[in-house]
Structure 1
């Protein structure tokens, strides 16, 4: 066993001897405080250990912990724990900047703290609202802060059948008409959410403004971002679109039943005239 260790040490020493022939490597060794003419594996290890022990200070220890939290954020898949880890890391880095008298580092991470805190608060509110939605509260109010305002006048077309679908609408005021099924959409209703689910992201109908109104819009990219921040939003959206599909099915069934009743009434009237 000792012979094997000696052989490895000898091989490493030979590699180091060959490497020191390179002038660049020799300069690096000099900067590290080593003698290029007498470099061994043990000498490098001892020098690195000496540098490490010499730089063990409270400030560097705090920086190392902060770096650990930063690396942890790269491994996280959801935004809430990522923001928490980022805030903790900012605290350690700010403390490092204060102890090392590095003003720029201290101010940078001190400013990042409230930014992360605000975003974390938004994410927590989003998670809370999405959980309520998953439990049956289908209010869309919680989504409004993520939407932008847009106004339409009577006669304007919001989108047409088979158009590329890139955003979802929430009606605030006015009236809108789905032309294919002759259904009016009143304030407080969603439009365009089905285009988010179609394989080619195409509109499933044409919507026209029939009374001046205001809508709120949100892009599908933003919806995806919200989904990845809180996957429960995906369940909420599934329930929402399922309700819309069931409503459409019920509407078609009612129309079919009405047409059958009208046909039956017309047939009865014809029979009575013949009789």
Structure 2
């Protein structure tokens, strides 16, 4: 085996290693290195189809790597700072609610959580108000049977970002670092909720 074949085998080994990885950031990094090795091998043996195939994959892997690194950075910043959840916006749908609108009722099946951007929302069972910057409905993801533990009513017309649990789960499974940081963020908000006044901007129910 000469050194050219060695480069080819290296690219193959790295590709197999990337396929076996379960975490996204290392997977993308190894995939980029594998593509570089395979492209080098393809150029040395004069195989343009090999070069083209790997060259097409590099931008996709680089983009996904950048997304995951940014996500982890933003979540860690939120957990260590003001607990802002602006990083969730790309994964949710902004909805407007009129005063008196009921978002969900206690006992209903829970599939989404809400990040309040404007207006005022009330949790009648606990007499708690949730205003801009508050997150509500997250505990349904953790409750037995995914049932709502309380109701939510809009008392002042406003907007809320509706984030499906499926998006949260997908982010969690894609990157354990995100999962750890998100759990830390949730725990801190739960402690805040336990000591919060009646009118708040960061409760979880």
TM-score (norm 2): 0.80
Matched residue of 1:158: which SS?
A: strand
- Which structure has more RCO (C-alpha within 8 Å, separation ≥ 6)? 2
Identify the structure with the greater helix proportion: 1
With over 3 angstroms needed to count, the CA separation of the structure-2 counterparts of 1:69 and 1:187, relative to structure 1, is same
* Matches of 2:22 and 2:34, distance apart in 1: 17
Corresponding residue pairs, total? 198
Which segments of structure 1 move beyond 6 Å, counting only runs of 4 or more?
A: none
Structure 1 residue runs of 5 or longer lacking an equivalent are 1-52, 255-275
1:75 to 10, 17, 20: 20
Mark the runs of 5 or more structure 2 residues left unpaired by the alignment.
Answer: 199-205
Which of the pair has more CA radius of gyration?
A: 1
2:33 is aligned to 88
- Structure 1 residue 179: deviation in Å? 2.5
Deviation digits for residues 81-108 of structure 1 (CA, Å, limit 9, x no counterpart): 1110011111122333444444333222
Q: Counterpart in 2 of 1:17? A: none
Q: Deviations over 1:41-80 (max 9, x none)?
A: xxxxxxxxxxxx5xx572x443321111111113323211
- Aligned match of 2:70: 125
Match of 2:118, SS? coil
For residue 200 of structure 1, give the secondary structure of its aligned residue in structure 2. helix
Name the TM-score, length of structure 1 as normaliser. 0.62
SS in 2 for 1:184: strand
Spell out the pairing of 1:37-186 with structure 2 (5 A cutoff): 58=4, 60-186=5-131
| Cα 1:250–1:130 shift into 2, 3 Å | closer
